[in-house]
Amino acid sequence: MKLWHISDTHCLHTQLQVPQDVDIVVHSGDASNRLDPCLNENELRTFLEWFSSLPIKTKIFVPGNHDTSLERGLIKPAHIESLGIHLLINESRIIEGKHFWGSPCVPKYGDWAWMKSRETINRIWQHIPANVDVLITHGPPYGILDATYNRQNNVELVGCSALRKKVFKEPPGFMLFGHVHSTDDIRNAGIRTINGISTVFSNGSCCDDGKMGTVTSHGNVLEISHK
């Protein structure tokens, strides 16, 4: 079965090229853009209408730190589910015989949605069950498709070290995330495997820093075994 992973579309979802013959689409957060929940609400509703209309059987959404109207309750989880979209917020769902677990939480950086301090975020990761087939988090684990420039213009790895520790202890079959975009000279968007762990990692971010008016990646297509 084929899974299309996208993330960080930031209101540019209509620019995406939708692949053919896909069974599942996963969006791992930052479908919208604005910090103000009232302004964010229309952005997110517009995305959800598009997402629900995709000619793909199964749709999964894990929000991100930019999806503030959902965190603040302006958009209700029940509404998203009524659109035929599986919403995962620190929870599991068995879909097409596979165990999915999703979380929007990321280490704190600014005043956005679902942010936790690096000292306390491990409490979230302890709820990830063992033997997850597809783990979906908005942010990456430390050291995996998470390089970016900091405010001093130095390259820094910004993924969550507590999440990395959890993933390496109990590896999921696939781990999908976004949050950290590519830049002109750093490519985070894409698929990667790492020696010593069986997990396939996917950064589905569709926008580059510095080029936020256009889609620069159309996501990743993964083959999920039925076994």
**CATH code for position 67:** 3.60.21.10
- Predicted local distance difference test score (pLDDT) of residue 225: 85
Domain ranges, residue 148: 2-223
Question: Count of domains in the chain?
Answer: 1
Q: What percent of the chain has pLDDT over 90?
A: 95
**CA quadruple 225, 31, 56, 4: dihedral, nearest 10:** -30
- Whether the CB-CB separation of 64 and 114 falls below 8 Å is answered with yes
- Predicted local distance difference test score (pLDDT) of residue 70: 98
Mean pLDDT of 141-160: 95
Q: How far is CA 99 from CA 92, 102, 184, 219, 226, in A?
A: 7, 10, 36, 21, 12
Say what the pTM is.
0.97
- What would the pLDDT profile of 173-200 be if each residue is shown by its tens digit? 999 999 999 999 999 999 999 999 999 9
- Predicted local distance difference test score (pLDDT) of residue 164: 98
pLDDT of residue 42 exceeding 70: yes
Band of the pLDDT at 226, cuts 50, 70, 90?
low
Band of the pLDDT at 110, cuts 50, 70, 90?
confident
